[in-house]
A and B are shown apart, each in its own frame.
Chain A
């Protein structure tokens, strides 16, 4: 509900879009008795569609489950004729959409099933209304509420998908900013790939968090895998260096190719606030020195 941003205002605006007025709801309440009489046929017909197709049959594993679903479906069916279209109603519809999304039922099934639903409602319920004009009006009202329901179901699908996409992106971002502990108080961040604004932000935050966690005295940032070092990337590295300095650590920049060195100079960027070295191995040596350690050859025995 919250993630769909569904509140009273959205409810009213959506009802307006679907022209779902109070008269429609009243019309549906008026035929509730007829609907109830045909409920079992509609629900059975609906499941006949689902069971008849391999794409949906695989979701229906055993008879007990089908019986349970039919009960849920019957409740859903009757709610169409409750004469209510308020926030609890919407909440219920969102839940239905969320369940289907979770089990991986694609929206095409949802829409196809709704089409069958409308056909069944027309054959069984609407044609049983004695007055022709009344029947036609009732059918229009039914179509409105079913379309309204569908819109909510589809929105739920989209919201759930966006949410999982966001989770994946966060996971990838985390993977692409691996701050490695080289030694006590010495960290290494190998940057690979383009640094867009979002990633720059992520890198800075990750670096600061890790420097504090590890009580690091120095962090090596290796840019050998960064395709282009423009003023934006340089600016970002300088800002990270400044922030790292505030929490008591130094930054060592390594992996600077001859081309990148020359480009940085031509751009006129001053990176003297960082230690800069061509090779990562040199960066590690300097880093160890900064934390009071040294790589020494083994004593001859």
Chain B
């Protein structure tokens, strides 16, 4: 996440539970609200909302539930939104394949992780078999 010259500052942070399918909608609605309030354009809002939807769904479907933390950032010039998705599920056994795209253990499209990576500026994933998965993404407003 070292794409910035300036130290970024966290303006707010909130954590939401992802226990039920409805929670996916709650998380992405909140993401959209924050993005709109911080002046993200319509394309960036759609990207961020879709990314939130993908990762929250992965937490629910593959991770057996977990949490999402949404943070508002500022680097002095731009606003950013960082989202951390955490679960204590099985972890991703073959991370390389999962990130390649088109691979799914749930017989869905398998394009969530690879696609999300293209929707945001920063994408980091930390997964341990049997312990869980944490995906962190950040998107910034344009200058």
Contacts and interface: CB of A to CB of B under 8 A. Distances in A.
A266 B119 contact: yes
Given A194-B25, A196-B22, A267-B115, A235 B53 contact: no
A122 interface: no
Nearest to A259: B46
A263 B50 contact: yes
Interface in B82-102: 101
Contacts of A266: 47, 115, 118-119
B49 A234 contact: no
- Tell me what chain B mostly uses at the interface: helix, strand, loop, or mixed: helix
B40 to A, nearest CB: 11
A263 B48 CA distance: 10
Given A262-B43, A266-B119, A267-B118, A232 B57 contact: yes
Contacts of B21: 196-197
A197 B21 CA distance: 8
Interface string A177-201: 0000000000000000010110000
Given A228-B50, A235-B108, A262-B46, A267 B119 contact: yes
Contact of A230 (B32, B45, B53, B114): B53
A191 B116 CA distance: 24
Nearest to B44: A259
Interface residues of B, number: 25
Contacts of B16: none
Nearest to B28: A228
A213 B45 CA distance: 40
Contacts of A235: 108-109
Given A262-B46, A267-B50, A231 B111 contact: yes
Interface residues of A, number: 21
A88 interface: no
B112 interface: yes
B57 A268 contact: no
B46 A263 contact: yes
Given A197-B21, A228-B28, A267 B46 contact: no
Contact of B54 (A194, A196, A230, A262): A230
A31 interface: no
- Tell me what chain A mostly uses at the interface: helix, strand, loop, or mixed: helix
Nearest to B57: A232
B42 interface: yes
A234 B109 contact: yes
* Most-contacted residue by chain B among A196, A227, A231 (CB, 10 A): A231
Contacts of B57: 230, 232
A268 B115 contact: yes
Contacts of B109: 231, 234-235, 238, 269
A269 B118 CA distance: 12
Given A197-B21, A232-B57, A268-B114, A263 B108 contact: no
A229 interface: yes
A92 B47 CA distance: 59
Interface string A77-118: 000000000000000000000000000000000000000000
Contacts of A267: 50, 54, 111-112, 115-116, 118-119
Interface in B37-95: 42-43, 45-47, 49-50, 53-54, 57
Interface in A225-276: 227-232, 234-235, 238, 258-260, 262-263, 266-269
Contacts of A230: 50, 53-54, 57, 112
Contacts of B54: 230-232, 267
25 contacts: A196-B21, A196-B22, A228-B50, A229-B50, A230-B50, A230-B57, A230-B112, A231-B108, A231-B111, A231-B112, A232-B53, A232-B54, A232-B57, A234-B109, A238-B109, A259-B42, A263-B50, A263-B119, A266-B119, A267-B111, A267-B116, A267-B119, A268-B111, A268-B114, A269-B109
Task: Identify the 10 closest CB pairs spanning chains A and B, nearest first.
Answer: A267-B115, A259-B46, A230-B53, A266-B118, A231-B109, A231-B111, A235-B109, A263-B50, A230-B50, A263-B46
